[in-house]
Structure 1
Amino acid sequence: MIFQEHRFSVAPMMDWSDRHCRAFHRTLSRRARLYTEMVTANAVIFGDRDRLIGFAEAEHPVAVQLGGSDPEALAKAARICADHGYDEINLNVGCPSDRVQGGNFGACLMRDPALVAACVAAMKAQVAIPVTVKCRIGVDEQDPEPALDALADAVLAAGADALVVHARKAWLQGLSPKENRDIPPLDYDRVYRLKRRLPGVPVGINGGIATIEQMRAHLEHVDGVMLGRAAYQDPGILLEVDPELFGEPAPHADAFAAVEAFEPYIAAHLAAGGRLHDVTRHMLGLFTGRPGARGYRRRLAIEGVKPEAGLNVLRAAVDEVRQAERRAHERRALVA
């Protein structure tokens, strides 16, 4: 069922959730639904498709997030993405950046539910896979009560299969996208009320979620949780997702085993002419909070960016953590 499919997902994040990031996250969780960076409809239609929307078979389940406000262009792009093998098409109605506003898509579309509905209907007419919408609770001076309901009702009437709601209002004037990450306050209750009003619709929640305990609390009220920055900055949390949220074993026993399992992917990327940093930049937070984490990050940041850097650099960085944890264990044993 689509409810279970969206129980946990990693958010689309510009400059972050590229194919290397998704491959790494898939190593940490079999069940997480992964999303691409947002790609505009016209880029899909006219651009380098392998670079923009290419992905590995191992990434499934994986969704592509499209940006745009032209129903015809979005329909064409959705068909292309579906033919590429994506599991879901997601429409961005939440990004507040100036560049996105300039293209008349993203969060500013909260003001035009009828247009968003037309976009959804056009995409649904072209693809057999789910079409979903990621939105805010409102923008600028909108009242989130009628604004979110209007958007939700319009897109559901057009055939949208699920909604993911970032529980913070987007401010398109007066705040930078960075400031908008923390201001105004999150309003989770508004998303809960939407779900209560739409019990038969899969509703996910996004924004400020960082722990398994918080995820469980939200899942008492909605069908799914979506992590963004927390999953990227502390990807080790993804090792907890399968056992804690799905009752299934994690893909690997710990972060060390996950890195070892991911090495063949990195080796293939290097053999194809890629650079180590293309991949390891997404792995910097893996050992967050553990002894040796700083040394791990430093080695990858300094040595991993060199053109000749190879797997030996990653292994040496991981060994910083192993040795630091061994020393910490020895100190605890002496005290005991």
Structure 2
Amino acid sequence: MTTYKRMALASRPKGEVVPANFRLEEAPVPTLKDGEILIRNHYLSLDPYMRMRMEDVKSYAAPQALNEVMIGGTVGEVIESKNPKFAVGEKVQGMLGWSEMGVSDGTMLRKLDTTHVPLSAYLGAVGMPGMTAWYGLTQIMQPKAGETIVVSAASGAVGSVVGQLAKLRGCRAVGIAGGAEKCDYVVNELGFDACIDYKAGNLVADLVKATPNGIDAIFENVGGEIFDACLARMNPFGRIALCGLISGYNGESMTVKNFRVFLTMRLTMRGFIVSEHMDLWPQGLTELGTLVASGKLKFRESIAQGLEAAPEAFIGLLKGKNFGKQLVKLI
């Protein structure tokens, strides 16, 4: 193998992302310097945060550079090493982007044990999405047994973990998802107490029915009218973990009509970026890995085949077409 494929950001989106924003390239396999590792990526993670990084705006991280490989989490196998800490054949997780191969000096590269946890799960339930769920729930929502928590995008890679962790802590878990199939999965497979199909057109009434004792904490992935409806059901001193606002990533209005509830119910809301809390990752990943290995934490994956399929899969993710964690299989 003398060349490999990679996907670069060709242009910044104007509104919705389109395939022309990306460019597939072929590059020669790099020659390693001392201390470097060559990794053949097996899976690429596609995540909503990538949409914000495509914009040239002030945010929590620098914008994705034009004509450079798109940012993204990967898992793969070491195929050549000039670093004594990594051996050929070891499985690793890193941020090597939308690319079939990547070079690392070992910084931010994590060795993986695939004995009891599938390789792909390290990009989902036992990776950044799982840690996002764990951090938002345990550090911001801080639910107590018997409380009601609501999770938007409940069938996704992050939301699905939030609800299951809440159930394990004795909470009533209510999900919000798009479509009957996703809601059935959230209740019957993941064990949520209820799931509201926001596409059914009865969001407010269904939310009242599913939260008879109000809402004590929200894990917010969507924003917009779904978030507004949940705010109206909040109990005094409720907590909100603000993880994402996917309904507004293409420039739609994010007006909050029920803002006064923050005052009347004395609410606390905190936005967070999980990569800023690496000190807690060992604790969270240990719990998540143990739960996945023992079958107590379930997950589902949507897998696109080949790097060429990544743009359409990403566009689908932003429109909610994925079911569970969206991955691209590269090998």
Range class of TM-score, shorter chain: under 0.3
Higher percent of residues as strand: 2
TM-score w.r.t. the length of structure 2 is: 0.28
